[in-house]
Structure 1
Amino acid sequence: MPPSKVLPPPLPAVHRVSSVDAAAVVLRDQILDGHLRPGSPLREADLSSQLGISRHTLRVALTNLAHEGIVNLEPNRGAFVRSLTAEDVRDCYRLRTILELQAVRGLSGNIAALAPAREAVGRLVGTPVDAAWSVSREADLTFHRTLVDGLGSARISRTYDSLLNELRLCLLLEDFPSKDQQANAGHHLRMLEVVESGDVEAAVALMTEHLEVSCEESIAALRTS
């Protein structure tokens, strides 16, 4: 008699997004779109009432956002939208530079691996001039993220992803909406073309300059605000 077939255990049911996650999404968007400015207090009573959730649920959502680096939790004072210091910005860009220059070196001349970056640049170039500034910002960051992802290292990609929301705060400082978006898109296209050419030295120099300028613009804006 043939052995009976062993059935795999049933899959767990898929649940809807939790109230904690939904609240975190709303607050994250408000912060990263600039509606909740750096240093703004995140008052539990007001926010829990507006979001229609308990204060406990709100606290968990704020704790999650603190882990992402965009909210500060201060004992006996409450939660605040994170205000970056000049050293915070430099530290973010220090890690960003390490990861992105590694990507430039590793992908130089590899047209196949750079195909997603070419698509990302196409979306950046095609972004309408009247699009919301967050659309241009995300298209910009997507290009840089695809370079890092092109290395094929899940660990490096996770490290870069953990930095993205802090980089978005840096770009808020930089007054990203006032940038010449067409010139910015053209500059990214030029960077891609140099990486595609296989000229590692030129690609590293161009990316280094790009990141240094972006870092200093954020710091300059921070000092004048």
Structure 2
Amino acid sequence: MGTTGGLADDRALLGRTSTAERVADILRTRIAEGYFPPGTRLSEENIGGALGVSRNTLREAFRLLTHERLLVHELNRGVFVRVLTVDDVVDLYRTRRLVECAVVHGLGGPPFALDGLAGAVAEGERHARDGDWKGVSTANIHFHSELVALAGSERTDELMRGVLAELRLAFHVVDDPRALHEPYLARNREILDALRAGERTKSEQLLADYLDDSRTQLVEAYARRVADDGETPH
């Protein structure tokens, strides 16, 4: 048998997998934007028809997003956008603290490449002036993505994309996005300014305090909303 083995038999999978990944990208974005809120049942027929893809391709996309913990499959019920538990939220922040603080701690000497971080701060402040708190939420996600990107590690970037995508599931359950996100606009700029000044240790402490306060606020708001609505996490 040649070194290619039975790979020729897998050729048909290439197109399907590529399409499934593109479909997963679309659905991931829609979930992140709140188009499919937590707890929503995803209809194979409706979504497949809208995107013009086969049921097998859509199921593969669902499988990819289930692996990313954005969807959950319930036997005899279908596929749903996950509703996070309070423990999920706490664990996500534990991961964020480990990763984000380690990135700042491990930065080399200044000057740091801060254009992406500065852009995210400006983006958040612009959306706040417009009263667009959903936009502020997205800009805040961009801020933390850009912060982690300072490590220059594709693996760390990929890890944080998954963590932040999951976190947005919790954001969409909280009904007062302004109260949730507005306090951190100034703190984002404070971290940026400390990094611009080359104060890495101060930046790391500001970030640790930021994440601890954000976790406490989100857990309280999230637990209150889930309790009020009587939602059962999937």
TM-score of the aligned structures, taking structure 2 as reference length: 0.75
| Letter aligned with residue 120 of structure 1 | A
Tell me which structure has the larger Cα radius of gyration. 1
CA contact (8 A) 2:128 2:182 kept: no
CA contact (8 A) 2:103 2:150 kept: yes
CA contact (8 A) 1:125 1:182 kept: no
| Letter aligned with residue 203 of structure 2 | A
Distance 1:105 1:175 in 2: 34
| Letter aligned with residue 29 of structure 1 | T
CA contact (8 A) 1:173 1:222 kept: yes
Distance 2:175 2:195 in 1: 28
Q: How many residue pairs align between the two structures?
A: 210
Counterpart residue number, 2:229: none
| Letter aligned with residue 138 of structure 1 | T
CA contact (8 A) 2:38 2:173 kept: no
- Where in structure 2 are the equivalents of 1:107-122 lying within 5 Å? 107=107, 110-122=110-122
- Where in structure 2 are the equivalents of 1:77-116 lying within 5 Å? 77-107=77-107, 110-116=110-116
Q: Shift in Å at residue 123 of structure 1?
A: 2.9
CA contact (8 A) 1:42 1:81 kept: yes
1:151-200 deviation per Cα after TM superposition (whole angstroms, max 9, x unaligned): 22333223222322112223324446324866532221012222333444
Is the partner of 2:127 in helix, strand or coil? coil
Distance 1:24 1:184 in 2: 30
Counterpart residue number, 1:39: 39
Distance 2:37 2:158 in 1: 27
| Alignment CA distance shift 1:166-1:181 (3 Å) | closer
1:20-46 deviation per Cα after TM superposition (whole angstroms, max 9, x unaligned): 345334433332222322122223234
Counterpart residue number, 1:178: 178
1:107-136 deviation per Cα after TM superposition (whole angstroms, max 9, x unaligned): 386223334323332333333633654432
- Where in structure 2 are the equivalents of 1:125-204 lying within 5 Å? 125-127=125-127, 129-130=129-130, 132-175=132-175, 177-179=177-179, 183-204=183-204
Distance 1:59 1:96 in 2: 30
Distance 1:28 1:176 in 2: 23
Counterpart residue number, 2:212: 212
Q: Shift in Å at residue 72 of structure 1?
A: 0.7
Counterpart residue number, 1:20: 20
Greater alpha carbon shift after TM alignment, 172-181 vs 134-143: 172-181
Distance 1:68 1:152 in 2: 22
Normalized per residue, which structure has more helix? 2
- List gaps (5 residues or longer) in structure 2: 1-14, 226-234
Q: Shift in Å at residue 221 of structure 1?
A: 2.5
| Letter aligned with residue 143 of structure 1 | F
Q: Shift in Å at residue 214 of structure 1?
A: 1.8
CA contact (8 A) 2:127 2:133 kept: no
CA contact (8 A) 1:41 1:79 kept: yes
RMSD of aligned C-alpha atoms? Answer: 2.9
1:2-31 deviation per Cα after TM superposition (whole angstroms, max 9, x unaligned): xxxxxxxxxxxxx9x965345334433332
| Letter aligned with residue 158 of structure 1 | E
| Letter aligned with residue 145 of structure 1 | S
Is the partner of 2:156 in helix, strand or coil? helix
Greater alpha carbon shift after TM alignment, 33-42 vs 79-88: 33-42
Counterpart residue number, 1:7: none
- List gaps (5 residues or longer) in structure 1: 1-14
Q: Shift in Å at residue 141 of structure 1?
A: 1.7
